[in-house]
Amino acid sequence: MPELSENDFAETEQWVDLGLSVLWAAYNVGASSPEEYGGYYAWGETEEKSSYTWKNYNLESFNGYEISGTSYDVAHVKWGGGARMPTFAEVKELLNNCTFKYGTYNGVKGDYVVGPNGNSIFLPKVGCHSVTGF
């Protein structure tokens, strides 16, 4: 797959080169800055819900875990263009080649992910929604 550049994305989105094989988003889907939490989405879904249960999990036709760049990829659907969630291999590359440092950004706790080239992104500690309705 070819490497994407800033020209592949909408002007309003920000992308960071961490010195890895792909660019990484500077903030979460649904956020407009690194410290904002963004939206909550179930795996493979592209809309938020008021509650998350197995009964309302909408993935009946889902066939696997690699959803990057598909209609199940919230970044691809919400941001368009070449935007997409990272693949499992790209997440592994991030984990294996970057340094994680706990800290705060504009008063929000989270992790700084520092790439081999010294550039960084901030991952806010946003929590999660619990699955109910077993």
Single out the residue of 126, 102, 125, 124 nearest to residue 114, CA to CA: 102
Q: Note the pLDDT of residue 12.
A: 38
Run means of pLDDT, 10 residues per run, the chain, 134 residues: 40 77 95 92 90 79 76 93 92 97 92 94 81 52
Given this model, what pLDDT does residue 1 score? 30
Phi, psi of 105 (to 5 degrees): -135, 120
Q: What pLDDT is recorded for position 3?
A: 41
Backbone CA torsion sign across 21, 27, 32, 38: positive
